[in-house]
């Protein structure tokens, strides 16, 4: 029973109860009917026996009184019993069918409730509110769920606001630190090797922190960016590949792009989405390899794939890589200047456009990242 749906459980239990009630009713009615038939047979036999002063007890299993009456009554008893059991089976089957459809209608509000819950996503908490026009049993659940969604929405909003404020406040002092370090290096050309190495390290880390605060600020301000442009992904991807060509040339890599599709969204954000995916593919692919960007669409969706020839992503980490600050190989990511925010930003942008991003396939021969976006509706 554990593997069955609630509707089937109700159906089976109702059918069993109906069957038990029918069997009990059949036994009682059958027992009573047999007794009355015996009494009728006894009366008929007594009236037909002229030489007997008092009617004798009738036993349908014995044909000594009147064979014809005994046979008729016995046949009637068997026919009555068979009919009763057929009625029991029919009523049980009918009861089960009716219970299935009635329970399905009764559980319709629960299915609707589950459908509404499935629509809840981290990016639409402020827009989701479950209807409380439901049966009494679900009203309290709906109200509690709405309260929970409201609290989660406030929590996420506060988190985004804090992240944006912190990034905004950090950006200015980091920029000043960068400028001062660069100015000091340019004015003091004859530094000791140890001092030059220390200043280079400071410059590298301040640049890394500046990039991190920039990404955090972008992530906190995503909700305020309008997503109403008609964007052609083919030319946009070609532009990304042109901008990243110097990085690819350093590793002797080739960049290819094929296909095109039209979506509605933010040109700036979609550029950043493709840029981050291609940049990741270049940084973590083997030298002298190829990064391919392919775009195709259907009536309802647009698919953008970025395929590299890197070492692959273990299966257990294929969802974690989209979490902020998650890095598969911390030492390697730090060497490449990564902070674990690139794919998190990609996930946020895809979600903002009503789409998804995932690792479609990955092995030692390379990884394919798949972005799925809603297709532009034909006017």
Domain segments of the chain as ranges: 6-106, 136-220, 225-374
Q: How far is residue 359's CA from residue 22's CA, in Å, rounded to a whole number?
A: 58
Give the list of residues 6+ apart from residue 285 with CB closer than 8 angstroms, or none. Answer: 251, 253, 291, 308, 309, 310, 366
State the pTM of this model: 0.57
β-sheet bridge partners, residue 369: 306, 359
pLDDT tens by residue, the chain, 379 residues: 555 666 676 777 777 777 777 777 777 676 666 666 666 666 566 555 544 454 444 455 554 545 665 666 666 667 766 777 777 777 777 777 777 777 777 677 677 777 777 777 666 666 677 776 666 666 777 788 788 878 877 777 777 777 667 777 777 788 888 888 888 888 887 778 888 888 888 888 888 788 777 777 777 777 667 788 888 999 999 999 999 999 999 999 999 999 999 999 888 889 889 999 999 999 888 898 999 999 999 888 999 999 999 888 888 888 888 887 776 665 554 455 555 678 888 988 898 888 899 999 988 889 999 999 998 765 5
R_g of the chain computed on alpha carbons: 39
Q: In what order do the strands lie in the sheet with 301-307?
A: 254-258, 290-297, 301-307, 366-374, 356-363
The token pair that represents 341 in the structure block: 């925010």
Per-residue pLDDT of 329-376, as tens digits, reads 655 544 555 556 788 889 888 988 888 999 999 888 899 999 999 987
Residue 94 neighbours by CB distance under 10 Å: 12
pLDDT at 184: 85
pLDDT at 137: 62
CATH class of 225-374: alpha beta
Helices (H), the chain: 6-48, 67-106, 108-118, 136-187, 193-220, 233-250, 267-284, 330-335, 342-352
Q: How far is residue 189's CA from residue 196's CA, in Å, rounded to a whole number?
A: 9
Contacts 24+ apart (CB under 8 A), 315-318: 315/362, 318/358, 318/359, 318/362
The token pair that represents 191 in the structure block: 């530094």
207 CB-contact burial (10 Å; exposed 0-12 / middle 13-18 / buried 19+): middle
Q: How far is residue 108's CA from residue 53's CA, in Å, rounded to a whole number?
A: 71
The CATH number that domain 136-220 falls under is 1.10.287.130
């Amino acid at each position: 029973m554990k593997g069955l749906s609630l509707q089937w459980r109700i159906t089976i239990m109702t059918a069993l109860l109906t069957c038990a009630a029918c069997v009990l009713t059949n036994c009682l009615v059958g027992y009573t009917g047999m007794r009355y038939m015996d009494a009728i047979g006894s009366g008929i036999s007594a009236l037909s026996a002229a030489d007997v002063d008092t009617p004798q007890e009738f036993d349908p299993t014995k044909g000594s009184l009147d064979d014809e009456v005994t046979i008729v009554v016995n046949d009637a008893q068997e026919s009555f019993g068979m009919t009763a059991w057929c009625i029991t089976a029919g009523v049980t089957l009918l009861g089960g069918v009716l219970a299935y459809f009635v329970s399905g209608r009764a559980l319709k509000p629960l299915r609707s409730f589950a459908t509404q819950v499935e629509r809840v996503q981290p990016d639409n908490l402020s827009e989701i509110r479950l209807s409380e026009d439901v049966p009494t049993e679900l009203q309290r659940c709906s109200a509690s769920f709405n309260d929970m969604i409201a609290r989660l929405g406030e929590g996420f909003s506060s988190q985004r606001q804090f992240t944006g404020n912190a990034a905004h406040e950090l950006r200015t002092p980091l920029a000043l630190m960068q400028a001062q370090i660069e100015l000091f290096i340019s004015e003091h050309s004859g530094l000791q090797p140890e001092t030059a190495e220390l200043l280079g390290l400071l410059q590298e880390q301040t640049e890394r922190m500046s990039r991190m605060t920039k990404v955090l600020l972008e992530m906190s301000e995503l909700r305020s960016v309008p997503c109403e442009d008609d964007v052609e992904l083919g030319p946009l991807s070609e532009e990304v590949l042109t901008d990243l060509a110097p990085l690819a040339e350093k590793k002797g890599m080739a960049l290819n792009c094929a296909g095109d599709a039209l979506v509605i969204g933010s040109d700036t954000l979609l550029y950043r989405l493709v840029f981050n995916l291609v940049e990741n593919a270049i940084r973590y692919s083997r030298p002298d390899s190829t990064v391919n960007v392919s775009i195709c669409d259907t009536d309802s969706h647009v698919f953008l794939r970025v395929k590299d020839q890197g070492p692959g992503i273990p299966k257990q980490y294929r969802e974690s890589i989209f979490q902020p600050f998650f890095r598969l190989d911390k030492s390697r990511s730090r060497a490449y200047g990564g902070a674990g925010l690139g794919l998190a930003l990609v996930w946020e942008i895809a979600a903002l456009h009503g789409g998804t991003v995932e690792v479609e396939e990955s092995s030692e021969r390379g990884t394919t990242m798949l972005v799925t976006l809603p297709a532009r509706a034909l006017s």
